[in-house]
Amino acid sequence: MIRYIDDVEGHRQIVSFHVPGDFVDLHGYPLRVLDHSIATITDALIAVVPHSQLSQIMDSDPTLARKLWAATLLDAAMHREWLFRLGRLEAVGRIAHFLAETDARLQAIGLSDGRTCALPITQGDLAEITGLTSIHVNRVLRTLREENICLLRASRLEILDRHRLYRIGQFDPTYLYLKATPPTSAAGAESARQQRE
Amino acid sequence: MIRYIDDVEGHRQIVSFHVPGDFVDLHGYPLRVLDHSIATITDALIAVVPHSQLSQIMDSDPTLARKLWAATLLDAAMHREWLFRLGRLEAVGRIAHFLAETDARLQAIGLSDGRTCALPITQGDLAEITGLTSIHVNRVLRTLREENICLLRASRLEILDRHRLYRIGQFDPTYLYLKATPPTSAAGAESARQQRE
DNA sequence: CGCGGGATTGACTTGGGTCAACTGTAGTGG
DNA sequence: CCACTACAGTTGACCCAAGTCAATCCCGCG
């Protein structure tokens, strides 16, 4: 599922991307009104939690309440990283960063084995995520493929050179607040951001 | 105050901008560790709230707790709007949007009279907010000035044509969740985003 | 077999970056 | 009171990453 904001001409900017297990619309509870739209991009199984139930938790279980709060702040942390991506990286970096991030999140929930994972998005979706045109996304994906870094085809992402992918995207997964470090070969590249000076 | 993320070369992307009265680091409480840096860009008067005190509120006052939660989600909502800005607007739009947003926030706390307000940022800061270079920021500010839309000089922002400023930045203040609608002439342009079809 | 949406490619254009000056202007210290 | 410095703002010339426009290809599907 995605959350997005439309511009005047109806072109949308995707502002977040959700994987199975995410509490997608928890922001709606404290805010009451939502400032953006939500959509599915694949078939999805959805659970609904009434606000009254959330209020009950707030009243009776501060520990769980705090965890719910933290869950929404994780979204905020990802928003910030996305801002970094759009503001400071050019096309290849943006795409590499998104692919790295998404793979890391899928790994955390057991939907990526560290080499390949299902990623059912179109190049047009990727364009709406990265602030590019689908045409340019296509060009970038080609070079990533030709350089044997990664491969996005037929709704599958295959990572061939995680180290370079992370470096190109300046990806450092700490902002995802994953309990354990992602299982596989993330080690070599885990602190791309810290390299400076 | 600003919150920001550095890239590999140390160039920073500012991910949020704070005005007097903001609870700047509330994210640090549920998350425990922060994924970004915080800095002042002017002299600032700071109040510190120990986490233990926040926990006390969580335990004893669900209504206030929910308000704190909402405060952090307002940050998230702004992050999303900033994502829209970076992803879908080009230079003029990005700058117009930021100026419009900041003025609206300052108005809400009585620090802008609707025509002019103190805005102590350099063109370099603006560049780090909008994902541009300071040189290009300068060019854009010049055209905004020449078109009599607004004027940023000597740490003051003066809005000459709010309607056009809002339209250029596709600015619609609803995501700021201000209690009352901002006092002055915002009316004419308040729903730039909805104009589509 | 034809249709439609996504992917791909090429040719051309342009917004914004880079580099390199130069101009304020507010300190600072002699 | 005035050089000297330092940093912000300005401007011009040139370049390139990414957008636009326009085909064309590909593949699954009814």
B95-149 pLDDT tens trace: 999 999 999 999 999 999 989 999 999 999 999 999 999 999 999 999 999 999 9
Is 0.85 surpassed by the pTM of this model?
yes
Measured at the CA of B101, the angle between CA A73 and CA B74, to 5 degrees, comes to 20
Q: Pick out the nucleotide with least CA–C1' distance to A130.
A: D18
What is the pLDDT at residue A187?
Answer: 41
Nearest CA in chain A to B70: A30
Minimal Cβ distance to A79: which of B58, B65, B80: B80
Report the sign of the C-alpha dihedral through residues B60, B64, B65, B66, in that order.
positive
With an 8 Å Cβ cutoff, are B13 and A79 in contact?
no
**Count of residues making up chain A:** 197
Output the pLDDT for position A178.
85
Work out the end-to-end distance of chain B between its first and last CA atoms, rounded to an integer number of angstroms.
Answer: 39
Query: Mean pLDDT, consecutive 10-residue segments, chain A of 197 residues?
Result: 93 96 93 92 92 92 92 96 97 97 95 92 96 96 95 93 96 87 44 41
Task: Nearest chain A residue to B56 by CA: give it.
Answer: A62
* Closest nt to residue A136, judged CA to C1': D18
CB–CB of B76 and A75 under 8 A?
yes
User: Given this model, what pLDDT does residue A179 score?
Assistant: 73
- B10-13: which pairs have CB atoms within 8 A and are 24 or more residues apart? B10/A196, B10/A197, B11/A88, B11/B128, B12/B37, B12/B128, B13/A83, B13/A84, B13/A87, B13/A88, B13/B128, B13/B131
Contacts of B62 in chain A (CB under 8 A): 55, 58-59, 65
- Rounded Cα gap, residues A129 and A112, in angstroms: 21
Q: Return the minimum-mean-pLDDT range out of A69-73, B150-154, B186-190.
A: B186-190
| Strands of B2-6's sheet in order across | B12-17, B2-6, B37-39
CA angle B94, B92, B36 (to 5 degrees): 25
Nucleotides of D under 7 A from a protein CB: 8-12, 17-22
Domains, chain A, in order of start with CATH, read 2-195 (1.10.10.10)
* CA-wise closest residue to A153 among A122, A127, A113, A124: A122
pLDDT at B28: 92
Q: Name A residues 108-147 whose Cβ lies under 7 Å from strand C.
A: 122-124, 134-135, 138-139, 141-142
pLDDT for A180 equals: 59
Quote the mean pLDDT of chain B.
90
pLDDT at A161: 95
Tokens of B151: 């004027």
pLDDT for B178 beyond 90: no
Contacts of B88 in chain A (CB under 8 A): 5, 7, 11, 13, 131
